[in-house]
């Protein structure tokens, strides 16, 4: 959740620039491929991420920025990670240590 949460401030601060940023695209790719790796290991992440998104984009201003980001992203081509793209190395935390906390 923390890795996913890191990308949300970019969207709020400058939604249009973020939508076209290669740096944001790389950060998003790393997060998505980390998420894919966790799901391939049967670690449930979708419900917490949905909760976090609903909590983060919870005001009119934040929702407006999120919509602005989506409009600015419209028409761009994004690669969707496939199972072969799942990558433990793209996680910015120690997975083994995190699993010990459960």
pLDDT < 70 stretches in the chain? 101-102
Task: Please say whether the beta carbons of 18 and 69 come within 8 A.
Answer: yes
| Cβ neighbours of 96 (radius 10 Å) | 8
pTM above 0.95, yes or no: no
Task: Please say whether the beta carbons of 36 and 79 come within 8 A.
Answer: no
What pLDDT score does 16 carry? 93
Task: Please say whether the beta carbons of 71 and 81 come within 8 A.
Answer: no
Percent of the chain with pLDDT over 70: 98
CA distance 75 to 4: 23
Q: Encoding tokens for residue 68? A: 């602005």
Percent of the chain with pLDDT over 90: 29
């Amino acid at each position: 959740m923390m890795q996913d949460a890191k990308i949300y401030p970019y969207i709020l601060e400058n939604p249009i620039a973020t939508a076209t940023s290669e740096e944001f695209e790389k950060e998003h790719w790393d997060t998505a491929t980390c998420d894919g790796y966790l799901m391939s290991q049967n670690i449930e992440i979708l419900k917490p991420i949905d909760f976090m998104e609903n909590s983060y984009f919870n005001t009119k201003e934040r929702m407006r920025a999120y919509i602005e980001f989506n409009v600015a992203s419209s028409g761009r081509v994004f690669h969707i990670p496939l199972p072969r793209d799942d990558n433990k190395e793209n996680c910015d935390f120690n997975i083994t240590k995190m699993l010990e906390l459960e």
